[in-house]
Amino acid sequence: MKKLKKTMLSFLLTLMLVSGITPVSNLTSIPATTVQAAVSKKQTAKFVRGVDGDTAKLSVKGKTYTFRFLAIDTPETVKPNTPPAFMGKKASNYTKSALAKAEKIEVQYDGNRTDKYGRKLAWIFVDGQLLQDKLVKKGYARVYYVYGKYKYTNKLRASEKVAKRKKLGIWKNYKAAFPDSKSSSNKNTTKNTTAKKVSNTKKNSSKQTSSSSYVWIPRTGSKYHSCSSCSNMRSPSKVKKSEAIRRGYTPCSKCY
C-alpha cells in the first residue's frame, strides 16, 4: 500500500512539472511586487515668471502652478513690509535668468508634492542641471526645509560645504541674509567666549589661592606678611600660611 502511494505521488509531481504548474514549495522564490518610489519621473515644464530665488511660476501640461524649490532657502525679497535681505536680489535675478534662458525645464517630485500654502514642491532642472544645486554652489541659497530622505540632499550639502568654506554669497554675512535665523556659528562663538572667560577666572583664582597660601615670617616678631619686604624684614622665611598660624603668628595689619 505504501509503495502504491509513493508511486502515485511521484506520478502527480511529474505531471505538474510537465504541465508547467509551480509547486507550492517554490512560491517563496518569486520576487515580491516592488513598491513605487516616492521620486517621480521628470516632467517637462515651461517658465511663466519668477517670484524670488526659490520660487517660480511654471506651466506643466498647460496649467500654471507656483513651484517652491525643494530643500533650499534663499534670502527674502518679497516679504511684506520687509526690505530685501542680503543677497536676496542676486539670488532672485539668477533664478529668473536661469529659467528664462533654459531650453528645457523639468520638474521632479520627491515625497510630498505640495506645501501648506498649496505650492508645488519639486526638484527643478534647467537643461539637465539641478537648479537647487547651482544656487547652493554660488552661495545664493542654503540647504533648508529638509523633512525627509530626499534624493539630492547629499549633493546639496556637499556643495554647501564648499560655498561656506569659500565664503560665497550668503556666507559672507549669514546674519544679514537670514536675519530671523539664529546662526549656529554665533552660538558657538558665544559659548567659546564664555568658556574662555570662566576658564581664565578659574586660572586667576587658582593663582591667587596658590600665592596667598604662602606667607613670610621674620626671624623675630609675631606677624606673618604677604610681602617679603614688609617692615624691612631681613632674611624672612617663606612658609605656608597654615604653618605660620600654627606657630602662633598673626596677620600683619599693613599686608592684610
Asked if 143 contacts 132 with a C-beta cutoff of 8 angstroms, the reply is no
| The C-alpha cell that represents 118 in the structure block | 498649496
| The C-alpha cell that represents 58 in the structure block | 511654471
Q: Which residues have a Cβ under 8 Å from the Cβ of 32 and sit 6 or more positions away? A: none
- Give dist(CA 140, CA 232) in Å, integer: 73
DSSP category for residue 45: E
**Catalytic residue IDs:** 68, 76, 119
145-146-147 Cα angle (round to 5): 105
DSSP category for residue 171: G
**Sign of the torsion formed by the C-alpha atoms of 152, 186, 78 and 99:** negative
